[in-house]
């Protein structure tokens, strides 16, 4: 059987993959050494204009090289920022070009690993790029399509990410199942209710098998943000008082807690505002930490510490977070209950979205056979516990958190393009 000429591309908020369906061989292609995931990160070196990607970009940033780190690029789709630009090495870089640069690199690495060019691809997309705004959602998909064409993909199709994950799970089962796919990614939570079986997998048109799909713009980066605002940013002054008795303004803290706005805290205007706040603060020590953070351009470093703490709290009851770069010798102990409290409203929203999906499809809770969890943040304990409690009779199956979508997109690409 001849290998297809099309690939599947999962451009993710936190990590990206590329898949190529070939009989008897692994679907996901190695993109960075032997790793099949490429963190969706770009680092622009200031001195020699070199650009690094993925783990190498993170390593360069953490090593202290002068430059600009950009992460959570996908979050720009569907926002007004996509038509704006940012400053890199003294020049204006349009955000569209930034996304094209990363997706082009992702395509080049996939082609190198496959030892063949790809001009056709199925791209994953969340069920909603933007909640409750159909026009903005269409613009987001159109923007991604334009970027895909610009980097050399002539023929493209889109597939909802949870449905792609369903196709991956379907390749592993032996009987028909009614499956709820729960895909908790970096930027969105997406769901699909699908009838799957080995026989149905041979159908070219699967529309009748998809009973419902939905999603909400909540993901792992939101869990990071709310954990940061609840437990970390207060150590830098959030919630503390000015000498007047008013609370310290919160805008800079929200920028620093949100991956795609961290760089806004480094502007001259922001530095001036922080200096003014520090002058008027009742607790100047906490504002000294904030100034150290911005002076050292360590916002992404701190966000990585928060992300690591979130991951640790998914497996343990407490963890110590390093603050050494902004407060030498200091650590901050974070506890699972604090994390749960910080994200409880987000998890409630995700759970309500799941129940609304079942009601929309006219499916009773007891009719479900399987809940298939995928996505990097699907292991957050509070989220797993709440969804499992809503669907007690369904068995829980964990897929490849970072690879199920890319593998399913590759299977879909083989069906669509041959």
CA distance 61 to 42: 10
State the average pLDDT for the chain: 94
User: Which H/E stretch holds residue 258?
Assistant: none
Buried b (16+ CB within 10 A) or exposed e, 291-307: bbbbeebbbbbbbbbbb
- Answer left, alpha or beta for residue 39, where phi above 0 means left and psi between -120 and 50 means alpha: beta
| pTM given for the model | 0.90
CA distance 65 to 72: 20
Other beta carbons within 10 angstroms of residue 281's beta carbon come to 19
The pLDDT tens digits of the residues spanning 35-55 come to: 999 999 999 998 888 999 999
Q: In Å, how far are 122, 183, 186, 190, 272 from 375, measured between CA atoms?
A: 18, 5, 8, 9, 40
CA distance 63 to 73: 22
Does residue 70 sit in helix, strand or coil? strand
CA distance 96 to 252: 25
Question: What pLDDT does 88 receive?
Answer: 85
3: pLDDT strictly greater than 90: no
Tell me the average pLDDT across 8-29: 95
Confidence of residue 2 (pLDDT cuts 50, 70, 90): low
User: Please, are residues 403 and 35 in contact by the beta-carbon 8 Å criterion?
Assistant: no
Residues contacting residue 221 through CB under 8 Å, at least 6 positions apart: 13, 14, 72, 75, 186, 187, 258, 259
Q: What DSSP line would sit under 75-106, residue for residue?
A: GGTTSGGGGSEEEETTEEEEHHHHHHHHHHHH
Tell me the average pLDDT across 276-305: 95
The pLDDT tens digits of the residues spanning 137-181 come to: 999 999 999 999 999 999 999 999 999 999 999 999 999 999 999
Tell me the average pLDDT across 123-137: 92
Question: What pLDDT does 90 receive?
Answer: 79
Q: Say which residue the tokens 């090495």 belong to.
A: 89
Tell me the average pLDDT across 270-296: 95
Confidence of residue 299 (pLDDT cuts 50, 70, 90): very high
Q: What DSSP line would sit under 293-339, residue for residue?
A: HHHTT-HHHHHHHHHHHHHHHTTSSEEEEE-TTTSTT-EEEEEHHHH
Q: What percent of the chain has pLDDT over 70?
A: 99
Other beta carbons within 10 angstroms of residue 50's beta carbon come to 12
CATH code for the structural domain at 6-174+399-417: 3.30.420.40
Q: DSSP assignment, residue 4?
A: P
Q: Give the residue among 132, 133, 158, 167 at the shortest CA–CA distance from 349.
A: 132
User: Please, are residues 328 and 319 in contact by the beta-carbon 8 Å criterion?
Assistant: no
CA distance 29 to 337: 38
The pLDDT tens digits of the residues spanning 243-274 come to: 999 999 999 999 999 988 998 999 999 999 99
278: pLDDT strictly greater than 70: yes
Question: What pLDDT does 232 receive?
Answer: 97
Question: What pLDDT does 131 receive?
Answer: 85
CA distance 69 to 297: 10
The pLDDT tens digits of the residues spanning 196-248 come to: 999 999 887 888 999 999 999 999 999 999 999 999 999 999 999 999 999 99
Residues contacting residue 399 through CB under 8 Å, at least 6 positions apart: 165, 168, 169, 372, 373, 374
Locate the domains of the chain by residue range: 6-174+399-417, 221-340
CA distance 147 to 120: 14
The torsion angle over the Cα atoms of residues 205, 391, 389 and 165, rounded to 10 degrees, is -20
User: Please, are residues 226 and 346 in contact by the beta-carbon 8 Å criterion?
Assistant: yes
């Amino acid at each position: 059987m001849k290998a297809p000429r099309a690939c599947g591309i999962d451009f993710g908020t936190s990590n990206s993959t590329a898949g190529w369906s070939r009989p008897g061989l692994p679907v996901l292609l190695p993109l960075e050494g032997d790793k099949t995931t490429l963190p969706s990160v770009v680092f622009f070196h200031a001195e020699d204009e070199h650009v690094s990607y993925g783990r190498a970009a993170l390593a360069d940033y953490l090593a202290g090289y002068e430059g600009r780190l950009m992460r959570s690029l996908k979050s720009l789709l569907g926002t007004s920022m996509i038509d704006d630009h940012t400053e890199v090495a003294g020049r204006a870089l349009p955000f569209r070009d930034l996304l094209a640069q990363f997706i082009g690199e992702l395509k080049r690495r996939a082609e190198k690993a496959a030892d063949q060019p790809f001009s056709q691809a199925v791209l994953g997309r969340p069920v909603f790029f933007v909640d409750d705004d159909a026009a903005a959602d269409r613009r987001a998909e159109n923007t991604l399509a334009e970027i895909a064409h610009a980097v050399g993909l002539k023929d493209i199709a889109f597939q909802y990410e949870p449905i792609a994950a369903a196709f991956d799970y379907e390749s592993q089962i032996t009987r028909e199942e009614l499956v709820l796919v729960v895909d908790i990614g970096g930027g969105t939570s997406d769901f699909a209710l699908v009838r799957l079986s080995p026989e149905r997998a041979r159908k070219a048109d699967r529309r009748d098998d998809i009973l419902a799909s939905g999603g909400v713009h909540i993901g792992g980066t939101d869990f990071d943000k709310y954990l940061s605002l609840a437990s970390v940013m207060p150590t830098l002054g959030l919630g503390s008082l000015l000498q007047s008795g008013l609370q310290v303004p919160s805008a800079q803290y929200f920028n620093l807690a949100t991956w795609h706005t961290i760089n806004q805290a480094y502007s001259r205007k922001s530095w001036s505002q922080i200096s003014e706040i520090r002058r008027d603060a009742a607790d100047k020590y906490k504002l000294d930490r904030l100034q150290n953070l911005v002076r050292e351009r360590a916002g992404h470093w701190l966000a990585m510490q928060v992300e690591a703490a979130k991951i640790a709290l998914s497996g343990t009851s407490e963890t110590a977070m390093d603050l050494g770069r902004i407060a030498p010798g200091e650590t901050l102990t974070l506890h699972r209950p604090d994390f749960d409290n910080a994200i409880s409203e987000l998890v409630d929203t995700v759970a309500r979205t799941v129940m609304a999906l079942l009601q929309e499809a006219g499916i009773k809770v007891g009719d479900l056979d399987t809940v298939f969890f995928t996505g990097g943040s699907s292991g957050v304990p509070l989220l797993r516990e709440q969804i499992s409690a809503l669907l007690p009779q369904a068995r829980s199956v964990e897929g490849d958190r970072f690879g199920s979508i890319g593998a399913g997109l590759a299977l879909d690409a083989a069906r669509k393009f041959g």
